[in-house]
Amino acid sequence: MSPASPRKRGRPREFDLDAATAALERALWSRGFRSTNVEELAADAGLSLSSLYAAFGSKQGVLDAALARYECEMSGMLSELESATRGLPDVERFVGRVRAVIDDPASPSGCFMVNTMVEVGDGVPEVQRRTATYRRRIERALKSALDVAADNGDIEVGSAADRARLIQAALFGALAASRAGDAVAARDGLRSITRELRRWRGSA
């Protein structure tokens, strides 16, 4: 019996996968999934088409990887809200951080997750599930902070869930306005949230 032939090792990857994913995330966030073809994505990542497909499998795979990276980037901010200890000030701080992203000229417009939800969420089940999970996480994080506010006597006990849904909807509306190029409406929307939070605290 002849000895088994030595197994050939795969060719080592010659690019930084995280850097490529970051470039793809920015491209999709800036231009949108449907408005960007695979040739443009390969160029954005500095990859050949064959390398892009080898790394991500498909254009949908590129979007999945980019959204996963965005979720990781946002996780720290959401974790702070989930572990809120002050209540309304924590929510106000979160809204302020969202505004900082909107106001950052180096950041693409809107929120990558919200943009994708509006653009392709209804047509791609996996994207619909991912964006719905993200929306629910934000809503739960807001409710967690508002439960603290209720414990502090700043809002009525039992009202946290409704208030969380209200804030989440207003946040997503402001982010959608930012994506549409209406920065004034986006900022006005966020200021309205902040005023409402302060009104709640003042009326306690």
127 in any annotated domain: yes
- Number of domains, the chain: 1
Cα dist. 185→59, 173, 190, 199 in Å? 33, 9, 9, 21
- Give me the chain's average pLDDT, please: 92
Rounded average pLDDT over 8-12: 43
29 in any annotated domain: no
139 in any annotated domain: yes
pLDDT tens per residue across span 152-171 = 999 999 999 999 999 999 99
Torsion of CA 72, 73, 79, 80, to 10 degrees: 170
Rg (CA), the chain: 21
Cα dist. 102→53, 106, 119, 183 in Å? 32, 10, 19, 8
- Structure tokens, 107: 């950041």
Instruction: Calculate what percentage of the chain has a pLDDT beyond 90.
Output: 87
CATH number at residue 91: 1.10.357.10
pLDDT tens per residue across span 67-90 = 999 999 999 999 999 999 999 999
- Structure tokens, 80: 């702070």
Segments forming the whole domain that contains residue 155:
70-202
16 in any annotated domain: no
Rounded average pLDDT over 118-144: 93
In the 8-state DSSP scheme, what is residue 110?
A: S
- Structure tokens, 97: 């951080």
57 in any annotated domain: no
pLDDT of residue 204: 60
35 in any annotated domain: no
Helix and strand element counts for the chain (H, E): 9, 0
- pTM score, whole prediction: 0.88
Rounded average pLDDT over 133-156: 97
47 in any annotated domain: no
